[in-house]
Amino acid sequence: MKLLEERILSDGKIYEGNVLKVDSFLNHQLDVKLLSEIGAELKRLYGNCGITKILTIEASGIGVGCMVAQFFDCPLLFAKKTKTINIKGDVYHSCVESFTHQCVYDVIVSKDFLKSEDTVLIVDDFLAKGNALNGLIDIVNQSGARLAGCGIAIEKAFQGGGDALRQKGIRVESMAIIEQMDSGTGEIIFGTRN
């Protein structure tokens, strides 16, 4: 998506440790119009897949997830991060290693809201090593729901998570794919997939 690439170039900031900060428009302050464009594009790509639920992970997936859900006219469900060890039987749970906080979270989704009849589109703001998506995919598999694929705002392809999922046969559509970024020069090189 040209619009998103241009916005990353104009407002994104690259930090040490391969972190791209886009909190002026994607995951702190939200540019709702831009998120809406992402929703429209994912609807174009997945519109004929029979999606009944958008699944994301708190907190930063919720903004983009809401806009996507509006286009699919279905609920947005977000996995909750918890450090509680006692996992009750009425939730699906998985473990996710956090890229940004460098710790491991349990993530949970209530069994009330994800059923085997569902067809799920997983959405997130970033795809780096794929840990967050693998946790969400694990939860979808536990529920017996069908996974249509993943819709990502920004994929950092050089961290390998997206291509590993594609190699497993999972459809991954990213609105901007970063092949390289350099915190020293500020240079960002975009690429494509499929």
List interacting residues with ligand 5GP (CB under 6 A). 19-21, 27, 57, 60, 99-100, 124-132, 161
Identify which of residues 125 and 173 has a Cβ nearer to ligand 5GP in the complex: 125
Minimum separation from the CB atom of position 77 to ligand 5GP (A): 15
Map the chain to HEC letters.
CHHHHHHHHHHCEEECCCEEECCCCCCCCCCHHHHHHHHHHHHHHHCCCCCCEEEEECCCHHHHHHHHHHHHCCCEEEEEEECCCCCCCCEEEEEEECCCCCCEEEEEEECCCCCCCCEEEEEEEEECCCHHHHHHHHHHHHHCCEEEEEEEEEEEHHHCHHHHHHHCCCCEEEEEEEEEECCCCCCEEEECCC
Identify which of residues 42 and 57 has a Cβ nearer to ligand 5GP in the complex: 57
Identify which of residues 46 and 78 has a Cβ nearer to ligand 5GP in the complex: 78
Identify which of residues 88 and 184 has a Cβ nearer to ligand 5GP in the complex: 184
Minimum separation from the CB atom of position 87 to ligand 5GP (A): 21
Identify which of residues 69 and 132 has a Cβ nearer to ligand 5GP in the complex: 132
Minimum separation from the CB atom of position 160 to ligand 5GP (A): 9
Minimum separation from the CB atom of position 61 to ligand 5GP (A): 6
Identify which of residues 46 and 99 has a Cβ nearer to ligand 5GP in the complex: 99
- Asked if 45 and 173 touch (Cβ cutoff 8 Å), the reply is yes
- Asked if 68 and 32 touch (Cβ cutoff 8 Å), the reply is no
Minimum separation from the CB atom of position 46 to ligand 5GP (A): 19
**N-to-C CA span, the chain:** 14
Minimum separation from the CB atom of position 150 to ligand 5GP (A): 10
